Structure 1
Amino acid sequence: MAEEVKNYDVIIIGAGPAGMTAATYASRAELKTVMVDQGIYGGQMNNTAEVENYPGYNNIMGPDLAEKMYASSTQFGAEYAFGAVSGIEVLDNQDKVVHTDMGDLRAPAVILATGSEHTHLGVPGEEDYQGKGVSYCAVCDAAFFKGESVTVVGGGDSAVEEGLYLANIVKDVTIFVRGDQLKAQPILQARAKKQENIRFVYNTSVTAINGNGEEVQSVDLKNNETGETSTFETAGVFIYIGLKPNTAAFKDMGITDPAGWIKTNERLETVVPGLFAAGDVLVKDLRQITTAIGDGGLAGQEAYNYVSALDDAK
């Protein structure tokens, strides 16, 4: 016997800041709303030590901000469901069926707020030592390296921010930067360069991660100017080299660019009627909590407009 499909007005895939804000707007408009996510609500905020560019707070821990947003997003009746989404089926009447490993959900409007995830280096040893010294989350794993020397790979905001967080816990931090300069905001660079236990090494790529089978012991390096290779001892490797969109489940829907980011118009509509997108998963220049929230509010309102127009046409 086929499992019963659960019906909603709006299904939001993803429960980061964009998804939670969309849920607030949609449910406050009295739409039956559900957020579905395969992880804990909050998305990348849970991997962020301190947020200091969010209006209303001088600084706040990322997980604490996630908790506050979740409370807000569910206060008008929006539901939260665990589930990994495998695809979306668009029916002849333009209703959408969202297929998940926990059952199917159906609604006329769907908002994609699946965000992005950290890009991997793709070097030998990286996958082998995940959870054994390789990490993409300093907030999650810094405590395991108290008193140890660790490595950060990257030169943008995330790499420097997480390097600063690590520096308060570990013995010392070496940040390997592929190019000849940092891309992080000047205020972050200034803070890091004042930190006595942070060192920057430029024009250097990590080419392999080595260990004894149980834990990371070193990384292989290549100087990008001279081609010289070397080995550097380290207890942990924290990788921050960019982001990639979480859109694999939607790759055949014709809504993404070649890199996988979702394309929308100014109302955050994709080319599929009733299918919207918001937050870090979009083609955009700035991916921040504040921009995701703005997207989420607009997407939630546009989903309401779409559902209302369908009701009026009946």
Structure 2
Amino acid sequence: MDIQFEVIIIGAGPAGLTAAIYASRANMRVLLLEQESPGGKLVKTYKIENYTGVESSSGVDLAMSFMNHGLAFGAEMDFGSVVKVESVGKIKKVTLDNGKEFTGKAVIVATGTKERPLDVEMADRFTGRGISYCAVCDGAFYRDKVVAIVGGGNSALEEALFITSLVEKVNIVIRRDEFRAEPKIVDEVLKHEKINVIYKHLPESLIIEDNNIVGLNIKHVDTGEITPLMCSGIFPYIGADPATSFLDKSILNERGYIIAKSDMSTDIEGIFGAGDVIDKELRQVVTATSDGAIAANSAIKYIKNNF
């Protein structure tokens, strides 16, 4: 079997793009595979203020910088969703949903996580039509309207702050009696005149009129009382799951995250993990780039020792 590339990187977010820089600078033939937009979750993030050396940047600007740098040393890019990664002897074969196949000596999986869908009836039907998982992408559709954001973590609050510049009012619905976000962001949210916080409630059902979302019924976690919350758009930020359905389950934990060693290697030789997709405590841009650099370095060593 012909080997087309030395390193195939699945996912062009901060981890994957950093891995591409390190591997291509080591004169490796590198292929980046991405199913959406290069930059990963950065392109869906309003503002980044905790990446070392960049005091403040929009997510889109930082994503573009990452992409340009990631491809600057000769790495190639192709698009599609990976459906299979298999070993043929020492060679790795990666298959996309469009039928394309690529072969390489090592694979770095940096696919990140996918937003958890809103758990109410008909949520799938109204995704893109009243339910959105990206306030940065779709906020303009709700200009001067009332929206609801579901979730109490950093992502939920950051997107709530972003969308206040567009909408009339933001209702944040959280299931606890306090936020899980960083104190600085919480302070900004609580002081904002356009933001209303509804504690200890969960989404119960959509309110539909004339085939459009006009609100969300929310349920009190203690009393079970259901209250209608009128809004034109709903933005769920209720966690995410790893994008690993195409991988051998032997290298995944019970939640689907890749079990990676400190050098980002897995129990399958030649397959490495990096970024939010691996089992770890902190998932941030800065930790993803670190993982990507380590994974690339380990892949380079693996190739030199085995081919």
TM range (shorter): over 0.9
What corresponds to 1:11 in structure 2? Answer: 8
Asked if 1:262 corresponds to 2:258, the answer is yes
Spell out the pairing of 1:102-181 with structure 2 (5 A cutoff): 102-181=99-178
Deviation at 1:102, TM superposition (A): 4.3
Deviation at 1:214, TM superposition (A): 4.1
1 CA distance for matches of 2:142 and 2:125? 18
Q: Which of 279, 287, 299 is the aligned partner of 2:295?
A: 299
2 CA distance for matches of 1:218 and 1:110? 45
- Seq. identity, %: 37
What corresponds to 1:191 in structure 2? Answer: 188
What residue identity is the alignment partner of 1:305? Answer: K
Show structure 1 runs of 5+ residues with no match.
none
Normalised to the residue count of structure 2, the TM-score between the two structures is 0.97
Asked if 1:308 corresponds to 2:290, the answer is no
Contact 1:5-1:103 at 8 Å conserved across structures:
no
Spell out the pairing of 1:240-279 with structure 2 (5 A cutoff): 240-250=237-247, 252-279=248-275
Residue deviations 1:203-236, cap 9 Å, x none? 1011112223543101111111111112111000
Deviation at 1:202, TM superposition (A): 0.5
What corresponds to 2:81 in structure 1? Answer: 84
Contact 2:3-2:105 at 8 Å conserved across structures:
no
Q: Which of 278, 285, 295 is the aligned partner of 2:281?
A: 285
What corresponds to 1:57 in structure 2? Answer: 54
What residue identity is the alignment partner of 2:268? Answer: V
What residue identity is the alignment partner of 1:260? Answer: G
Deviation at 1:121, TM superposition (A): 2.4
Structure 1 residues 122 and 6, CA gap change in structure 2 (3 angstroms): farther
Deviation at 1:264, TM superposition (A): 1.0
Alignment root-mean-square deviation, CA: 1.3
What corresponds to 2:225 in structure 1? Answer: 228
Moved more, 124-133 or 237-246: 124-133
2 CA distance for matches of 1:168 and 1:137? 15
2 CA distance for matches of 1:171 and 1:135? 17
